[in-house]
Amino acid sequence: MTTFYKEFQKVFLSVDCIIFGFDNSKLKVLIGRRQMDPGRGEWSLYGGFVAASESIEECAARTLFELTGLRNLYMRQVGAFGQVDRDPGERVISIAYYALINVKDYDEKQLKEHGVEWVDIQALPQLYSDHNEMIRKALKLMRQKLRTEPVGFRLLPSLFTLTQLQRLYEAVTGEEIDKRNFRKRIKDMDFIEKTELIDKTGSKRGAFLYRFNKRTYNEDPNFKL
């Protein structure tokens, strides 16, 4: 380390991760009780401090891996949060990221190990510091992205019904979607493939299962819903 900038006050740099999941037709966020002071015991996002040897993106990826055990997740930066009094302990600036995962990839054992749980986005408690604001901004960005890119498929299993897909879009946008119009649009999207498999968990008649074809989408990315 050099001896430069000694005349300036040091600040801490951290990342906070907003992890979205989709389950039982609900958009959910992974949160837990804070394990350190200040704010011990308060509901909080999962985060960590940036090490001197890593970039903020590397820190975010490391933090996500520590929590989920998953690599190469869909991850996007939300923004910087730097109100002077946002952390009562020290002067801390946080860079927030949001990630999308399939809740089935994160089992009960991992939830208990890290002391976190999935909470409905519509029933969030008051979180530590400005974490509620981080989630609101992340949700706004994800809604914008969802209309121009098929990022929602990262929240679904590899095989899904059209009803599941519609419920996902409704959960993220917070708006009810007309079933007939939605399915008409889906039929025009070559990258959503109908399979011969049938899901009979919802009814005796069952519903056809679909899948997302990433290669087809990459060849013709003119997507808008």
| pTM of structure | 0.90
**3-state SS string over 165-203?**
HHHHHHHHHCCCCCHHHHHHHHHCCCCEEEEEEEECCCC
Given a cut of 70, whether residue 219 has pLDDT beyond it is no
Q: Collect all residues with Cβ–Cβ distance below 8 Å to 4 and sequence separation of at least 6.
A: none
pLDDT band at 206 (very low <50, low <70, confident <90, very high): confident
pLDDT in tens, 55-77: 999 999 999 999 998 888 999 99
- Percent of the chain whose predicted confidence (pLDDT) is above 90: 71
Strand partners, 211: 193
pLDDT band at 202 (very low <50, low <70, confident <90, very high): low
Q: How far apart are CA 109 and CA 60, in angstroms?
A: 22
Higher pLDDT, 127 or 217: 127
- The sign of the CA dihedral 106, 24, 215, 195 is positive
Determine which helix (DSSP H) or strand (DSSP E) holds 215, and give its type and residue range: helix 214-219
Given a cut of 80, whether residue 114 has pLDDT beyond it is yes
Q: What is the mean pLDDT of residues 152-169?
A: 93
**Cis omega (within 30 of 0) for bond into 38:** yes
Q: What is the mean pLDDT of residues 84-98?
A: 94
The secondary structure of residue 103, as a DSSP letter, is G
